[in-house]
Structure 1
């Protein structure tokens, strides 16, 4: 799970496994695998960084890292 901030300043915890797409127009919009959209204050790069950290904590990113080494 990653912590994010809505445009109204409210913080919430988001399960990053369900991110399908990120866009910056200029606000960062997250589209989930279910088609829901969340607009957050954090820049796209911050969301990506937090997501990668979350994946590492779950052990998912190591699998991707090893595959890229091949």
Structure 2
């Protein structure tokens, strides 16, 4: 779960596995797999960072280190 802020200033937790897409209109609009849309104060870069951190934390994204000379 990631913590985001609704337009009215209220924080909420969102299950990242339910996110289908994120767009900026200019506010960040999150479309869930159910089709429901949520508009938040957070910008797209912040949301992307939070999602990537969450996926890394639960082991869905591994850390990739390039080896010199390969």
Indicate the structure (1 or 2) with the bigger Cα radius of gyration.
2
Superposition TM-score, scaled by structure 2 size: 0.87
From the two aligned structures, give the one with the greater helix fraction: 1
Superposition CA RMSD, Å: 1.1
Deviations along 1:9-67, one digit per CA (max 9) or x if unpaired, are 000000011110000010000001111110000000100000000000110011xx66x
Structure 2: tracts of 5 or more residues without a match: 65-70
Q: Which of structure 1's runs of 4+ aligned residues deviate more than 4 A?
A: none
Structure 1: tracts of 5 or more residues without a match: none
Superposition TM-score, scaled by structure 1 size: 0.87
